[in-house]
Amino acid sequence: MALVKHIVMWNILGASPEEKVRNTERLKTAFEGLRGRIPGLRTLEIGVDFSGVDYACDVVLYSEFDSAQALTDYASHPEHLRVRQELEGLRIARHQVDYTPN
C-alpha cells in the first residue's frame, strides 16, 4: 500500500477574535474526534496558527492514509460527513493538497 498524505488548511469565520477562537476550537475538536473511527486513517493532527501573519491560514489538518482508496473512503465516510455538516459555514477559505511521499 502506498501511504497518502492529506493536508487541508482553512481560514475560519469570526466577526470578532473571540468568535474566531470559538469556531476554531469547534473545528479542532470535531476533527480530533475522528481519530480511531475511520478505517485506513493512520494519523490525524490539527494545528492552529500562531504566527499572526496576514497570509497564513488559521488551521491546518495533517493526516495520513493507508492508500488513495482509504482517502477516497474517508471522504464519504459517515463520520467525516457528519463533521463536515456540523462545521458547515465556519470556513471562509479552504486549501487542500494530497500526495504520496517519495
Q: What is the pTM of this model?
A: 0.92
Cell 494545528 belongs to which residue?
47
- Dmax (CA) for the chain in angstroms is 45
C-alpha grid cell for residue 68?
Answer: 488513495
36-70: b (≥16 Cβ within 10 Å) or e:
eebebbeebebeeeeeeeeeebbbbbebbbbebeb
β-pair partners for 32 = none
pLDDT of 38-54, one tens digit each?
Answer: 999 999 999 999 998 99
pLDDT of 44-81, one tens digit each?
Answer: 999 999 998 999 999 999 999 999 999 999 999 999 99
